[in-house]
Structure 1
Amino acid sequence: MQDADALENWQHSHVFDPGNPLAERNTRWVVWLTATMMVAEIAGGWIFNSMALLADGWHMSSHALALGLAVLAYTAARRYANDPRFAFGTWKIEVLASYTSAVFLVGVAGLMVFQSFERLLAPTPIHFDQAIAIAVMGLLVNLVCAWLLKDGHGHAHHHHHPHDGDHHHQDLNLRGAYLHVLADAATSLFAIVALFGGKLWGAVWLDPVMGLIGATLVATWAYGLLRDSSRVLLDAEMDRPLVTEIHDLVAGLPVVADIADLHLWRVGKGHYACILSLVVSEPLESDAVRQALSVHEELVHLTVEIHRRRIAPTT
């Protein structure tokens, strides 16, 4: 019984990320609002024979799909949090959703470019009043959605470590959802400007030009999200300042220790796992290394290996 107690003391949970219940709840609201607005735009486009509205409605469907994916990711990460199949927890389900969101955003930007060039080459008559009314309604819905997700964004940061910069503690899944809503808001805003320009001054060319500006903006956001989420998924973390700080701490140990192997990867928002393999000439306890590294609270899963250097016998 004593041995079992001792083993329990050494075992630990692999739930490294507490999740983001506020963001999950708000994202669910945003999915319903976006889906409702999408149906209204498609119906409006059909009734008023407006290709612009129909296109915006279908364009919104990709956002609704991505937002639904974000909700599914939160649910799956929570549901499988204690599943032993996930060696380092389920947080990367959320990161995978943010990466997929970014891919959707690239598709949205591409569709916007295609439609804009199509309208530049072959302008179509626009029902300005109806299109403006629905675009304004779309913008208002998107602003409400952005406010809901921004609220979750503000509560997504639990741990702050000065050396690593706040954006490494972001909820990437929430950021993906937030960018889809912002992309939609920007599209609605550019559409309103273009429609007013067309209605008041007959500047029909404004509609496709604004579409191209919107596409550039969306593509830029998509690139940033793709870069950040793919880094996490591919464990490309070895250029973090934390790696340099681990090297400095090892250099400050009471005995001379060389790093034979070092692996650092993310297992939660601002939480890292680390494998450190040291080669020493004099005895060194792994607990002493753990103690030295304990100043970094973000190291939540640490494995330390110590190897004694073989000294060749003198002849």
Structure 2
Amino acid sequence: MTTPAASPSSAKAWTDTGRHSHAFGEANPLAERRTRWAMWITLAMMVAEIIGGWYYNSMALLADGWHMSSHALALGLAAFAYVAARKLAHDRRFSFGTWKIEVLASYTSAICLLGVALLMLIQSGERLLNPGAIHYDEAIALAVLGLAVNLVCAWLLKDGHHGHDHGHGHGHAHGDESHADELHHDLNLRAAYIHVLADAATSVLAILALFGGKLWGADWLDPAMGIVGAGLVGKWSLGLLRDSGKVLLDAEMDAPVVAEIEEVIAASPVPARIRDLHVWRVGQGSYACILSLEVDVPTTPEYFRQQLAVHEELVHITVELIQPGEAVAR
């Protein structure tokens, strides 16, 4: 016997026709709006640098302008994902909602970020082997301006996660999550934030290297810092690839909620043994599960659903019971 059910926290997900809605993800209009702002600011800076580089015949300005274009693309991808997930939220083709559109965007953004790191590494290596004349005053001014723009964008994106309330009502395990945790859970916002943060980090490294070259004649510092920056950006992108790829592949059986489900069943007054369990994420802090139980006394799936209802992150629960006398599939 199989019964799909929703926890009390997701009661609003039921439609007037009695069918269960699959819009499990929570909209974050503030994050969507802040991401758009960051995108337009980055685009404006990109255009200014490209035009300025062409007008003043500065390769440094042109290179940084095109480099910033990759971050503008990533921010645009993040903004598009928010819009698509919101507009398609009630599209019945999506079995478990549209939240993974945002995760797919973060995965794609991480690949782009990895490409940026590789390009930085190649260009820095070439510059280290074949050093060229550096216009220090112009390059320093550019790096400082780029850093200011990136800090503004980073503030916009980090503050954008306040649009959610990810705290859980049950106090048994989670408690209130910090702002850093909220940003970590929104993979789409995190991807955009890492792009901006990576650009800010490279700007800081560039400023240090350029000052070192100007004051002490250490021209090698500029490409050396580029290599360090490439390693830092590569590390961030690999971490984002890992986290977003894990969600896309439904590799969630090591999530804390799995152990919580097992604890509930083990502590149930009605003896039951788990024969099959599948858990996957359908929202930033929301999970679906399919649970197959072998019981010794007649009972209903509703009983176990109520037992699991304390875990509000379980928004879509399907319980199958193997009653006494029924054959058990091995």
Answer yes or no: same fold by TM over 0.5: yes
What do the CA deviations read for 1:79-116 (whole angstroms, capped 9, x no partner)? 10110001111000001001111111101110110011
User: What does residue 259 of structure 2 align with?
Assistant: 244
Distance 1:224 1:297 in 2: 28
Deviation at 1:190, TM superposition (A): 1.2
Deviation at 1:47, TM superposition (A): 3.0
Distance 2:278 2:144 in 1: 51
Deviation at 1:245, TM superposition (A): 1.5
Distance 2:164 2:270 in 1: 40
1:81 corresponds to 2:96: no
Contact in 2 for aligned 1:45/1:52 (Cα 8 Å): yes
Aligned mate of 1:113, from 112, 121, 140: 121
1:131 corresponds to 2:133: no
Amino acid at match of 2:299: L
Q: 1:97 to 1:311 in 2, by over 3 A?
A: closer
Aligned mate of 2:106, from 78, 98, 102: 98
What do the CA deviations read for 1:38-67 (whole angstroms, capped 9, x no partner)? 112222332333333322211111111111
1:170 corresponds to 2:185: yes
Aligned mate of 2:201, from 186, 193, 198: 186
1:234 corresponds to 2:234: no
1:225 corresponds to 2:233: no
1:209 corresponds to 2:224: yes
Distance 1:221 1:42 in 2: 27
Aligned mate of 2:308, from 290, 293, 298: 293
Q: 1:311 to 1:67 in 2, by over 3 A?
A: closer
User: What does residue 3 of structure 1 align with?
Assistant: none
Question: What SS does structure 1 have at the residue aligned with 2:268?
Answer: coil
Contact in 2 for aligned 1:35/1:64 (Cα 8 Å): yes
Deviation at 1:309, TM superposition (A): 4.0
1:303 corresponds to 2:311: no
Distance 2:235 2:174 in 1: 23
Percent identity for Structure 1 against Structure 2: 67
Question: What SS does structure 1 have at the residue aligned with 2:34?
Answer: helix
Distance 2:165 2:57 in 1: 46
Contact in 1 for aligned 2:30/2:162 (Cα 8 Å): no
Bigger RCO (CA 8 Å, 6+ sep): 2
Aligned mate of 1:43, from 41, 47, 51: 51
Distance 2:26 2:88 in 1: 13
Deviates more, 1:264-273 or 1:252-261: 252-261
Deviates more, 1:294-303 or 1:250-259: 250-259
Q: 1:304 to 1:10 in 2, by over 3 A?
A: farther
Deviation at 1:311, TM superposition (A): 7.1
What do the CA deviations read for 1:226-271 (whole angstroms, capped 9, x no partner)? 1111111110000112111211111122232111111101011110
Deviates more, 1:303-312 or 1:159-168: 159-168
TM-score (norm 1): 0.92
User: What does residue 21 of structure 1 align with?
Assistant: 29
Aligned mate of 2:276, from 261, 264, 269: 261
Distance 1:311 1:28 in 2: 57
Contact in 2 for aligned 1:163/1:241 (Cα 8 Å): no
Amino acid at match of 2:87: R
Contact in 1 for aligned 2:28/2:161 (Cα 8 Å): no
Contact in 2 for aligned 1:171/1:269 (Cα 8 Å): yes
Q: 1:100 to 1:164 in 2, by over 3 A?
A: farther
Distance 1:95 1:311 in 2: 41
Distance 2:51 2:218 in 1: 26
Amino acid at match of 1:159: G
User: What does residue 4 of structure 1 align with?
Assistant: none
TM-score (norm 2): 0.88
Deviation at 1:9, TM superposition (A): 7.1
User: What does residue 56 of structure 1 align with?
Assistant: 64
Q: 1:300 to 1:109 in 2, by over 3 A?
A: same
Q: Could you tell me which runs of 5 or more consecutive residues in structure 2 were left unpaired when the two chains were aligned.
A: 1-14
